[in-house]
Amino acid sequence: MLGAVDSCTLAGFEVRRVEVQADIGHGDTKFVLVGLAATSVKEARERVRSAIKNSGLEFPGQRLTVNLAPAELRKEGSALDLPIAIAIALARAGKKPPPHTAFLGELALDGAVRHVDGILVAARGLRMLGFERIFVPAADAAEASLVEGLVVTPCASLKGVIDHLLGIETIEPYVSSGAQAIGDSGSWEHDLAEVHGQEEGRRALEIAAAGGHHLLLSGPPGAGKTMLAHCLAGILPPLELDEALEVAQVRSLLGELPGRGALDWTRPFRAPHHGVSMAGLIGGGSGIAQPGEISRSHHGVLFLDELAEFQSPVLQALRQPLETGRITITRSAGSVSYPARFTLVAATNPCPCGWAGDPVRSCRCTPGGIDAYHRRLSGPLMDRIDLKVGVRRVKLETLASEPTGEGSAAVRERVVAARRSQLDRQGCLNAQLKPARLRKLAGLEPASRRTLERWAEQRGLTARGFHRAWRVARTSADLDGAEHIGERHILEALGYRLQDVAA
């Protein structure tokens, strides 16, 4: 007697279909599980045996072979418990499952169906593979229902699912309460209206938000770098549907999605401590690599405070994601790729003591010490940061008065408009424009071109530096609603640099 149902296994964001076959045949009482199962899957034998017995069903007293096909694909996780149990039950009953249907879920020994991580990722992947119905743990039904065009059957217990399949008692499909927006209430913990002075920092934030440019803030302790960085979240537009789903997928893999049928439209804001490990920032762990902070900040903001204190190899590893918006990590169990298109905001002191360049307090660092400090920041990482801005301490009398700058909501409106014109023109943000597309799409007025070239020659600008200024100028023009890049845009863009930190 043979039973077979479909399920899947995850390798990062990649969803691979797995067919679970159960065969009950003659021979000694034995439960054999084959098909390249990782340890977590092999344990399914014990859980499935107990779950079936404790659901009031009879476990076959014969030779039982379960095969996970395709056999060359490594299977991870406990989500195959439920499909294995169902395949066994269907084999006993001599029934076939409904077509285009997949099962996912972990079993408790009493037969209850428990939560598994990554349901949203699995559901999206299965939908793309052509599945129309999915049986998931009741706790994860809301998460699965975020995927359109998929009928979600919530499973509370193994017995319930089997009764449903045998036509004894029907489980109603999960009906989403409708995807409401959560998170984006338009009010933020940090609002630009509370920032005193810092005109240059504010402007740089607006450009960073509008064009997706990475930003470095340099200034003495207490100048307000952290406050400015946190304000970035409030001037970014809410996530688009696809973006929100991708963000939710990362959280799904980490088992962090709230059990609600609503997407979070808030852009992620992550601020890992400078002691973060390579695996913590980039992603990693044993077996299949888990997403790291850079993937958790996908479509959002990654804030690295005290940039010079991060381990150098960790910072170097940011190069690939900064360039491509993805990270590929290879571990013993295979290589996975996660999205990581974030806006980097880094903050640093201008020197080890923090006071270099301050008009009032004097710096106690030796020139050699400052050089060494800047060497840690220089090179390839700085090359990929379009905006570099000095942040100065605000005078006490200014702090005592009411701040006079615009609030986040007003800035956000301009950001939204500028982003829309970029997406209409080129389908991506300016920061992601490669030089060839930049030349084609972001035309320079003759005067602008002359200015940029004159600067490049005078200062020995590298090609990267040349394109950085060009991209930033494009965003400045977009914020102006200007079709072409004017000279003033170029001149402004050239101002976002720091003399002493590698330019």
Partner 1 sequence: MSLPEEAGLRTRGRWPPPEGPRAAIVGSRRPSPYGEAVAEQLGAHLARAGVIVISGLALGIDAAAHRGALLGGGVTVAVMGTGVDIVYPAAHSRLAEEILAAGGALVSQFPDGTTPRRHNFPARNWTMAALADVVVVVEAAQGSGALITADAALELHKEVMAVPGSVFSPLSVGTHGLIRDGAALVQNARDVLAALGATQEVLDDPLSAPKSLGIAPLPGRDGIVSHLSDVLALSAAEIARKLQLPVAEVLGRLTALELDGAVRRHHDGYVRALHKDKKPA
**Binding residues for partner 1, per CB under 8 A?**
197-203, 218-219, 350, 356-357, 359, 362-364, 366-367, 370-371, 389-392, 451, 454-455, 457-458, 460, 476, 488-489, 491-492, 494-496, 498-500
Task: Dump the DSSP string for 401-456.
Answer: SPP-SPPHHHHHHHHHHHHHHHHHHHSS-GGG--HHHHHHHSPBPHHHHHHHHHHH
Distance CA 51, CA 44 (A): 10
Please state the closest distance from residue 353 (CB atom) to partner 1, in A.
10
Q: CA neighbours within 13 Å on the CB side: how many for 37? A: 24
Nearer to partner 1, 238 or 352 (CB): 352
Please state the closest distance from residue 362 (CB atom) to partner 1, in A.
5
Nearer to partner 1, 145 or 448 (CB): 448
Please state the closest distance from residue 208 (CB atom) to partner 1, in A.
14
For residue 14, how many other CB atoms are within 10 A of its CB?
15
CA 167 to chain centre: 42
Nearer to partner 1, 440 or 484 (CB): 484
Nearer to partner 1, 90 or 363 (CB): 363
Nearer to partner 1, 103 or 355 (CB): 355
Nearer to partner 1, 29 or 398 (CB): 398
Please state the closest distance from residue 212 (CB atom) to partner 1, in A.
18
Q: Write down the residue that tokens 């956000």 correspond to.
A: 412
Please state the closest distance from residue 366 (CB atom) to partner 1, in A.
6
CA dist 298 → 80, 291, 302, 338 (Å) = 29, 10, 8, 9
Please state the closest distance from residue 333 (CB atom) to partner 1, in A.
46
Peptide bond into 70 cis (omega under 30): yes
Beta-ladder partners of 24: 64
Distance CA 82, CA 66 (A): 13
Nearer to partner 1, 263 or 353 (CB): 353
Distance CA 278, CA 271 (A): 15
Q: What DSSP designation does 37 have?
A: B
Q: Quick one: tokens of 406?
A: 């615009």
Q: What SS3 class is residue 213?
A: coil
Please state the closest distance from residue 398 (CB atom) to partner 1, in A.
9
